[in-house]
């Protein structure tokens, strides 16, 4: 491995700038060794280039490019409030909201608006999100759905053919055409959550982002790497080219100060007039025109003003299931995240994972035992098999038995667990059989990148929000200062499986594409079996691999007693329903050279029949845990995230 540079060089400069943009923080200075003072970040860890193959060009398994690993991160401890977001500027904006008495909902609004500027490759108001929210006063859990929808006119071949008469694929690619763009949902969802749980004025929560857009900010190392990797696609769109590239066409580099006056104007309108300023009027018209652009040979999308004006966020019923002494609450459809995490954990409940904890875990989490990776990845194969067949937008495709319980009840998951051979991998799993359900199984579209925010506030409320434009820079269309998503590529582009039956996740007008986003709240289980105190908040970006990242973290926290920093830092591992088991080669304790040939864990798994990939993983996990005296949290060493709060 080669040490290349301190990851926080750019971030520190950014914090100096943002300090002058934001109101003074009332919290006291922190003493934590980890990445935070009070709403400030301390240097923590170094940026390491792992000797592992990178995933560029392999977006099916690695949604965003790997940008290294910060070794030796230690957790942050706070007294009453805490936030972890994927960029220190966004974390700080949210932290300052919390420090001034804001709720977790208030902090999310501030963080999301700033993330759209400093992490546009992953998230922004042109995308969608899912939010799990705990209201401490009412002890209720809300699941907010801000998923994008397909235009009403979209047919089942919308993503693969120019029209039913012209079977040419969308140009220059489905991703970079207007066809991949769904009606954005994050703003309507955040407004709904803010109406329900906000304390501070909607308008004021936009101030940090508007100031940043006006005055500029230095491009972070990760954003610079993503711009460079996407320069060719960004060059096709006039607005994207002008914003992300220099006049000579070269990518704007790390540290380059970038301003976004168009975004400042857009955010000011939404701050004053609410989401209607986005879903109707001039901005809506600009979105329709940009989606329909044909310049540079792009196939136009079909979003209309009516599609935008008609967009509704939804409040859905959270999926809450027992796991040993805890209760896990996750997102229902159209995300498959809550179902698939719950199914995996429910299968794993049948095994003694505590006895398989890593030996002597250090700050980077320790190396998991091969038997643990085997059991967990087998459980994931079984859970993904069911989700691939049965989970889609519930407003279009009901679950078997019309209830998550059909796929999550304990006797069923025990039967699934019995399919696991402790000594050899099953390769691929078959879905459960629920009688005459008219659905096929077929190839699934790759799913891509994203961002995650975990928050707890001084009132005891908590939020886990995963937010996305899908692939890096979404569809590469930029309008009024923000990136438009390519979320419709989370649909199956083909409508039927090999057996000719329709796929649950096929494109339909007005439908939401299936997601893997898995924002998760974990509660203690009281002796009477009821939901007790909130114990953990977690989630991650990472496309279809999100489920594996979150499962790894939950097992680390709940079965292995790792602290949140160790749990997120530990090697990423797992499997979707294929013979390939991923072991994140970016981790300093995984020997990724020669395709992992010299790594003991990789060798043991291969001996059990696993096709092991040591491609770098690009999780962006965060995890917060209640402990005596307050909270302890960790941010993923693989990205630029930071944890902040009223440190102790």
Minimum CB distance to ligand GLY, residue 298 (Å): 21
56 is written with which tokens? 């560029």
Q: Which residues contact 201 (CB under 8 A, 6 or more apart)?
A: none
d(CA 648, CA 645): 9
Q: Which stretch binds ligand GLY (CB under 6 A): 153-161, 194-202, 270-278, 510-518?
A: 510-518
Residue from 120, 185, 330, 543 binding ligand GLY (CB under 6 A): 543
| Burial track 430-453 (b if 16+ CB lie within 10 A, e otherwise) | ebbebeebebbbbebbbbbbbbbb
Decide whether 84 or 450 has the Cβ nearer to ligand GLY: 450
Decide whether 21 or 517 has the Cβ nearer to ligand GLY: 517
Residue from 80, 180, 290, 468 binding ligand GLY (CB under 6 A): 468
d(CA 54, CA 226): 13
Beta bridge partners of 453: 465
Decide whether 425 or 470 has the Cβ nearer to ligand GLY: 470
Side-chain-side CA neighbours of 147 within 13 Å: the count stands at 30
Residue from 448, 512, 625, 626 binding ligand GLY (CB under 6 A): 448
Minimum CB distance to ligand GLY, residue 447 (Å): 4
Residue from 447, 457, 559, 586 binding ligand GLY (CB under 6 A): 447
Number of residues interacting with ligand GLY: please give it, by CB under 6 A. Answer: 12
245 is written with which tokens? 């590239």
Interstrand relation of 462-468 and 477-479 (parallel, antiparallel or unpaired): unpaired
Nearest of 262, 299, 329, 326 to residue 126 by alpha carbon = 262
Please pick, among 71, 174, 441, 450, the residue that the annotation labels catalytic: 450
339 contacts 398 by C-beta, under 8 angstroms:
no
3-state secondary structure at position 506: strand
Residue from 50, 287, 379, 517 binding ligand GLY (CB under 6 A): 517
d(CA 381, CA 429): 6
Decide whether 490 or 572 has the Cβ nearer to ligand GLY: 490
CA 269 to chain centroid: 27
User: Nearest 10 degrees: CA dihedral of 16, 20, 25, 28?
Assistant: 40
Whether residue 172 has a cis bond before it, omega within 30° of 0 = yes
Decide whether 314 or 447 has the Cβ nearer to ligand GLY: 447
3-state secondary structure at position 270: helix
182: left (phi over 0), alpha (psi -120 to 50) or beta: beta
Q: Which stretch binds ligand GLY (CB under 6 A): 77-85, 243-251, 309-317, 445-453?
A: 445-453
Q: Which stretch binds ligand GLY (CB under 6 A): 6-14, 100-108, 299-307, 512-520?
A: 512-520
- Which 200-229 positions form the footprint of ligand GLY (CB under 6 A)? none
Q: Which stretch binds ligand GLY (CB under 6 A): 375-383, 446-454, 548-556, 568-576?
A: 446-454
Minimum CB distance to ligand GLY, residue 121 (Å): 13
Minimum CB distance to ligand GLY, residue 419 (Å): 26
3-state secondary structure at position 156: coil
Q: Which stretch binds ligand GLY (CB under 6 A): 32-40, 239-247, 253-261, 511-519?
A: 511-519
Nearest of 294, 303, 161 to residue 238 by alpha carbon = 294
Residue from 27, 444, 515, 617 binding ligand GLY (CB under 6 A): 515
Minimum CB distance to ligand GLY, residue 449 (Å): 7
C-alpha distances out from residue 530 to 322, 327, 404, 525, 557, Å: 10, 9, 19, 6, 21
Decide whether 135 or 485 has the Cβ nearer to ligand GLY: 485
Interstrand relation of 47-49 and 2-5 (parallel, antiparallel or unpaired): antiparallel
Minimum CB distance to ligand GLY, residue 450 (Å): 5
147 is written with which tokens? 């998923």
Decide whether 180 or 470 has the Cβ nearer to ligand GLY: 470
Minimum CB distance to ligand GLY, residue 393 (Å): 12
Task: Give the sign of the dihedral formed by CA 152, CA 390, CA 552, CA 587.
Answer: negative
Residue from 175, 291, 441, 450 binding ligand GLY (CB under 6 A): 450
Q: What is the DSSP letter of 581?
A: E
Q: Which stretch binds ligand GLY (CB under 6 A): 68-76, 224-232, 457-465, 515-523?
A: 515-523
Minimum CB distance to ligand GLY, residue 336 (Å): 8
Please spell the DSSP secondary structure of 331-381, one letter per residue.
--TTBSHHHHHHHHHHHHTTS-GGGGPPSS--TT--PPPHHHHHHHHHHHH
d(CA 537, CA 520): 6
Q: Which stretch binds ligand GLY (CB under 6 A): 276-284, 350-358, 430-438, 447-455?
A: 447-455
The total of other beta-carbon atoms located within 10 Å of residue 282's CB is 13
The DSSP element (H or E) to which 69 belongs, if any, is strand 69-70
How long a stretch of residues is the chain? 648
Decide whether 10 or 337 has the Cβ nearer to ligand GLY: 337
**Residue written as tokens 């610079």?**
224
- Minimal CB distance residue for ligand GLY: 515
Decide whether 487 or 492 has the Cβ nearer to ligand GLY: 487
Minimum CB distance to ligand GLY, residue 72 (Å): 30
Decide whether 135 or 174 has the Cβ nearer to ligand GLY: 174
- Which 19-48 positions form the footprint of ligand GLY (CB under 6 A)? none
61 contacts 72 by C-beta, under 8 angstroms:
no
Minimum CB distance to ligand GLY, residue 354 (Å): 30
Beta bridge partners of 70: 47
Active site residue 450: yes
Residue from 91, 505, 516, 569 binding ligand GLY (CB under 6 A): 516
What track of x and - describes contact with ligand GLY for positions 469 through 508 (by CB under 6 A)?
-x----------------x--x------------------
Minimum CB distance to ligand GLY, residue 270 (Å): 23
The total of other beta-carbon atoms located within 10 Å of residue 317's CB is 11
Minimum CB distance to ligand GLY, residue 472 (Å): 11
What track of x and - describes contact with ligand GLY for positions 561 through 580 (by CB under 6 A)?
--------------------
3-state secondary structure at position 107: helix
* Residue 618 found at the interface with ligand GLY (CB under 6 A): no
Where in the sequence numbering do the catalytic residues fall?
450
Footprint of ligand GLY on this chain (CB under 6 A)?
A: 447-448, 450, 468, 470, 487, 490, 515-517, 543, 546
């Amino acid at each position: 491995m080669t040490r290349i540079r301190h990851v926080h060089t750019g971030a520190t400069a950014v914090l100096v700038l943002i300090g002058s943009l934001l109101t003074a923080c009332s919290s006291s200075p922190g003493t934590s060794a980890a990445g935070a003072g009070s709403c400030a970040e301390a240097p923590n860890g170094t940026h390491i280039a792992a000797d592992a193959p990178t995933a560029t060009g392999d977006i099916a398994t690695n949604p965003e490019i790997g940008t290294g690993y910060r070794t030796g991160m230690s957790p942050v401890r706070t007294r009453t409030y805490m936030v972890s977001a994927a960029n220190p500027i966004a974390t700080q904006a949210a932290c300052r909201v919390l420090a001034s008495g804001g709720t977790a909902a208030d902090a999310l609004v501030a963080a999301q608006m700033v993330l759209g500027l400093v992490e546009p490759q992953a998230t922004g108001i042109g995308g969608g999100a899912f939010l799990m929210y705990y209201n401490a006063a009412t002890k209720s859990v809300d699941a907010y759905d801000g998923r994008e929808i397909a235009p009403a006119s979209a047919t089942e071949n919308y993503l693969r053919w120019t029209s039913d008469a012209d079977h040419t694929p969308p140009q220059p690619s489905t991703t970079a055409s207007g066809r991949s763009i769904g009606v954005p949902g994050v703003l309507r969802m955040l407004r709904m959550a803010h109406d329900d749980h906000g304390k501070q004025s909607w308008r004021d929560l936009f101030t940090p982002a508007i100031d940043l857009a006006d005055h500029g900010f230095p491009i972070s190392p990760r954003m610079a790497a993503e711009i460079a990797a996407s320069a060719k696609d960004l060059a096709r769109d006039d607005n994207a080219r002008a914003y992300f590239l220099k006049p000579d066409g070269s990518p704007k580099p790390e540290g380059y100060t970038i301003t976004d006056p168009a975004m400042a104007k857009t955010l000011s309108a939404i701050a004053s007039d609410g989401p209607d300023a986005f879903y109707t009027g001039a901005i809506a018209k600009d979105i329709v025109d940009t989606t329909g652009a044909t310049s540079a040979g792009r196939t136009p999308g079909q979003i209309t003003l009516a599609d935008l004006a008609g967009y509704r966020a939804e409040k859905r019923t959270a999926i809450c299931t027992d796991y040993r002494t805890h209760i896990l609450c996750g997102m229902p459809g159209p995300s498959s995240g809550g179902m698939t995490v719950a199914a995996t954990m429910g299968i794993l409940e049948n095994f003694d994972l505590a006895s398989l904890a890593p030996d002597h875990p250090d700050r980077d989490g320790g190396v998991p035992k091969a038997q643990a990776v085997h059991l967990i990845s087998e459980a994931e194969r079984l859970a993904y098999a069911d989700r691939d067949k049965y989970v889609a937008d519930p407003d279009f495709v009901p679950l078997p038995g019309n209830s998550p319980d059909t796929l999550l009840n304990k006797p069923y998951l025990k039967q699934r667990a019995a399919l696991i051979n402790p000594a050899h991998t099953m390769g691929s799993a078959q879905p459960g059989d629920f009688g005459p359900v008219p659905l096929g199984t077929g190839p699934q579209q790759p799913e891509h990148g994203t961002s995650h925010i975990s928050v707890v506030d001084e009132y005891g409320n908590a939020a886990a929000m995963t937010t996305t434009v899908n692939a890096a820079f979404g569809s590469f269309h930029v309008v009024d200062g923000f990136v438009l998503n390519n979320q419709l590529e989370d649909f199956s582009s083909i409508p039927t499986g090999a057996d000719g039956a329709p796929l649950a996740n096929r494109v339909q007008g007005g439908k939401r594409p299936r997601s893997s986003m898995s924002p998760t709240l974990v509660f203690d289980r009281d002796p009477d079996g009821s939901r007790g105190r909130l114990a953990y908040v977690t989630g991650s970006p990472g496309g279809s691999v999100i489920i594996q990242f979150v499962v790894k973290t939950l097992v680390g926290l709940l079965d292995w007693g790792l602290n949140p920093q160790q749990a997120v830092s530990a090697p990423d591992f797992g499997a979707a329903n294929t013979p390939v088991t991923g072991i994140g080669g970016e981790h300093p304790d995984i020997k990724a050279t020669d395709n992992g040939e010299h790594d003991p864990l990789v060798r043991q798994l291969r001996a059990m029949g696993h096709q092991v990939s040591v491609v770098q993983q690009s999780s962006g996990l965060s995890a917060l845990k209640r402990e005596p005296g307050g909270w302890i949290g960790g941010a993923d060493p693989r990205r630029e995230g930071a944890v902040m709060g009223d440190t102790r």
